[in-house]
Amino acid sequence: MSQQRISRSHGPRSPEVIGFYEPDTGSIQYVVSCPRSGKAAVVDPVWNFDARHARTDTRSADQILDYVRQRDLSVEWVLDTHPHADHFTAAAYLKQKLGCPQAIGAKVRDVAVLWREIYNQPKAFDLDAGFDRLFTDGETFQLGEFGVGVMLSPGHTLASITYVIGDDAAFVHDTLMFPDSGTSRADFPGGDAAVLYRSIKAILALPPSTRLFVGHDYCKDGREPRWEATVAEHKAGNIHVKDGVTQDQFVKLRTARDKTLPLPDRMLYALQVNLCGGRLPEPENDDRSYFKIPANRF
């Protein structure tokens, strides 16, 4: 079982959040809930994938199912922050199990255009069939007694969004890491380090006590995984974007760092799944799904 940690509600407008750490990809999947109503949302769930054998399993997503059933939570949304490059989303699986809609940011349409060209599949990725809702910048919706605001936060991808839930919780996906690890890469198709910097600055303009929940942690220097820090903690100590770091300094640092990073071993598989909301390619005449991988592209 993966490591779990609960961030308790701080009051009537503060959600409870539990993070589940998935060690294979360093991902964190979340359940965020309204303590008074029992309404909940799942954020960035993981569908496990063994790249060596091209095999999926649901052990991480099943932890979420066990948790919400034990707590008798009513899950109203399965939310992705962006089309992930390093893991498969379990959104479709959880939608089927829980009977709730799944959503992502509307700019996923732009990401799909890029990847249709990369895969040479001009008719791939029916986003209206794959997702129940495509959120636009500034859109709001309810989760129990909490309002949820959507912030467009591009830079890591074109389609990245941040969910701000209640007064003090924001799910910032792959913009930020834990403060001792800085920020996420900006060199994937559609990424841009300068745009990422501006997105981060908008997130850090939230109230100082806002809890920021990140999408990944790689356990720097062997420490235990960590994924929650406040706006104030990032502004004081994030090694890439603390107060005083200029956009030019950040872009230089982020660009140099990105040049040293390999592609995630799941990326070329993941985008053709995640742009379908967490569904494998359509089965062929033998009832099996097949991935299409572009040779010598990256």
| C-alpha angle 93-97-100 in degrees, rounded to nearest 5 | 90
List pLDDT tens digits, range 221-239: 999 999 999 999 999 999 9
Q: Which CATH number fits domain 4-262: 3.40.50.360, 3.40.50.2300, 3.60.15.10, 3.40.50.1370?
A: 3.60.15.10
Q: What are the per-10-residue average pLDDT scores of the chain (298 residues)?
A: 90 97 96 97 98 96 98 98 97 98 98 97 96 98 97 97 98 96 96 98 98 97 97 98 98 97 95 98 96 95
Smallest Cα–Cα separation from 270: which of 74, 71, 118? 118
Separation between Cα atoms, residue 55 and residue 50, nearest integer Å: 5
Q: What is the pTM of this model?
A: 0.97
List pLDDT tens digits, range 177-186: 999 999 999 9
CA distances from 8 to 38, 54, 155, 263 (A): 14, 38, 30, 36
- What pLDDT was estimated at residue 1? 57
CB 177 within 8 A of CB 27: no
- What pLDDT was estimated at residue 61? 98
- What pLDDT was estimated at residue 2? 74
- The ranges assigned to domains in the chain are 4-262
Token digits of residue 120: 């040479």
